[in-house]
Amino acid sequence: MALALRLLLAFLAIGSCIAADHIDLWPMPKSVSHGTQRLYVSNNATMSMAGSKYSDGKAILKDAFQRMLDLMKLNHNADGANPSSSLLTGVNIVVLSTQDELGFEVDESYNLTVPTIGEPLHAQIEAQTVFGALHALQTFSQLCHFEFTSRLIGLNSAPWMISDAPRFPYRGLLIDTSRHYLPLAIIKGVIDAMTYSKLNVLHWHIVDEQSFPIEIPSYPNLWNGSYSYSERYTMSDAIDIVRYAEKRGVNVLAEIDVPGHARSWGVGYPSLWPSDSCREPLDVSNNFTFKVIDGILSDFSKVFKFKFVHLGGDEVNTSCWTATPHIKEWLNNNHMNVSDAYRYFVLRAQKIAISHGYEVINWEETFNNFGDKLDRKTVVHNWLGGDVAPKVVAAGLRCIVSNQDKWYLDHLDATWEGFYLNEPLKGINNTEQQRLVIGGEVCMWGEQIDASDIEQTIWPRAAAAAERLWSPLEQIAEDTRSATSRLSRFRCLLNQRGVAAAPLAGDGRTAPYEPGPCVRQ
């Protein structure tokens, strides 16, 4: 009898179950069914790729499998002897596409089965792309736990049949390395933890008014605006971060926020300031400003290969433009008021980014002020209010949702429940328009966090949003009661994996309230 048929019969006998309460998976897959049998993962488990068209030349899967084995042991010594039955010898991965270029809208779907019959017994992953297979390995790792009796990795409730795909293609997390420098090891840790909840875009808000930490070969004095000589990233560091992230299925979105939020640029090139006493926004009247933007984006395009670049455009206070005589004169000569000049700046910066092959993301103020003038491929990044996405998609543009009242991680009064319940498609009924919401992003602004507490400020709240962005709406509870115990178990898993995720109880980032087991904090 064919294996598939035997599996099917086994399932019919056991009956399938989607009682989310008893399934320790985060985010919840599209469809899950399971049985009641315990299996063990062999202490010399191996990965095979029988039937795969993809050959893993870059060792993306080989390395991911090794990381997953380490994760599943949770630093225990899995030194028990393999049992003679109920033993999973490893995972076979079938990837159909030979392409392994990560990018926007890459197919992330996968099927994962863990059978209880077959000789030898192994889990089976099927995915269109290697990036779907990475998600499958993450899911598999969550099915497993260290089993103290056998001293092996155990896997309960087999057989499992999981079929999964994300609801939104863009599932982001912002980090801000201008307000506080984040060491490379911290950034890599953030990327690792993102993959545990299947987030797939690291939005790197690299520079802002306070500091300019990154090397720009075209304009080598720009990083004179770093906080200190050591609080810097070389371009080679940036390449390393991008490679590290891509190998884990995470895209890196680079941002320069212009023309506001750019005071630090003038430390190395003072003519970018309107004047020495009025230093922001960037001097709109000076062509050198746009030459520098061109140089930065030219350098970026060699490193940041994601199809989007973020050009900011928020919170532009133009009073320095009217207060500076040479800019005032330029405005008069060009028959522009400051609103016109703001638009002129944003649109000219967009053209430069497009000339380097990028599509542009801008913060929502650009849309709110001159949405009809933006390049038609612009993605508008919402942050101010909760009712922006419907307007953006009605105007035919794409949108990323990050409304600050719900999805700003630096708001310590924003609870995980608020993160969980924030629906990106709220108020958008038309399916064509729904498709224009490419996803959402939680934002870890850096004014009041640094390397010492970034992890517990991000987690577990970012994970709550991650399920909202990944799982089908049918799997997402309308209240948070049924998600609470599952998220608290995921939070404990993060702790066990070495991620300093904060307790669920209380607001955004609290200390444990009293002695007790992890899941009750």
Ligand X SMILES: *[C@@H]1O[C@H](CO)[C@@H](O)[C@H](O)[C@H]1NC(C)=O
Q: Which residues are at the interface with ligand X (CB under 6 A)?
A: 44, 46, 82, 109-111, 126-128, 163, 221, 224, 268, 287, 317, 319-320, 337, 339-340, 427, 429
Q: Which is nearer to ligand X, 128 or 362 (CB)?
A: 128
Cβ-proximal residues to 11 (8 Å cutoff; 6+ apart), any chain: 33, 35, 159, 161
Task: Say whether 153 sits in a helix, a strand or coil.
Answer: strand
Asked whether the beta carbons of 361 and 253 are under 8 A apart, the reply is yes
Q: Which is nearer to ligand X, 82 or 485 (CB)?
A: 82
Asked whether the beta carbons of 428 and 437 are under 8 A apart, the reply is yes
Q: How many whole angstroms separate alpha carbon 108 and alpha carbon 247? A: 14
Query: Which residue spans within 148-247 are E strands per DSSP?
Result: 152-164, 170-176, 201-205
Asked whether the beta carbons of 141 and 91 are under 8 A apart, the reply is no
**Measured from the CB of residue 132, what is the shortest distance to ligand X in angstroms?**
6
Residues assigned a catalytic role: 315
Q: Which is nearer to ligand X, 173 or 388 (CB)?
A: 388
Task: Say whether 368 sits in a helix, a strand or coil.
Answer: helix
Q: Which is nearer to ligand X, 305 or 356 (CB)?
A: 356
Give the DSSP H/E element, type plus range, for residue 438: strand 437-444
Q: Which is nearer to ligand X, 263 or 398 (CB)?
A: 263
**Measured from the CB of residue 232, what is the shortest distance to ligand X in angstroms?**
11
Dihedral sign, Cα of residue 282, residue 285, residue 290, residue 291:
negative
DSSP 240-255: HHHHHHHTTT-EEEEE
Q: Which is nearer to ligand X, 137 or 504 (CB)?
A: 137
For residue 27, what are its two tokens? 């985010």
DSSP 33-95: EEEEEEEEEEEEEEEE-TT-S---TT-HHHHHHHHHHHHHHTTS---SPPPSSSEEEEEEEEE
Q: Which is nearer to ligand X, 22 or 62 (CB)?
A: 62
332 half-sphere exposure, CB direction, 13 A CA radius: 7
Q: Which is nearer to ligand X, 109 or 156 (CB)?
A: 109
**Measured from the CB of residue 430, what is the shortest distance to ligand X in angstroms?**
8
For residue 421, what are its two tokens? 């319940």
Closest CA to 124 of 97, 86, 93, 155: 93
Determine how many CB atoms are found less than 10 A away from the CB of residue 483: 24
118 half-sphere exposure, CB direction, 13 A CA radius: 24
**Measured from the CB of residue 188, what is the shortest distance to ligand X in angstroms?**
28
**Measured from the CB of residue 186, what is the shortest distance to ligand X in angstroms?**
26
**Measured from the CB of residue 287, what is the shortest distance to ligand X in angstroms?**
4
The most distant pair of C-alpha atoms in the chain lies apart, rounded to whole Å, by: 86
DSSP code for 5: H
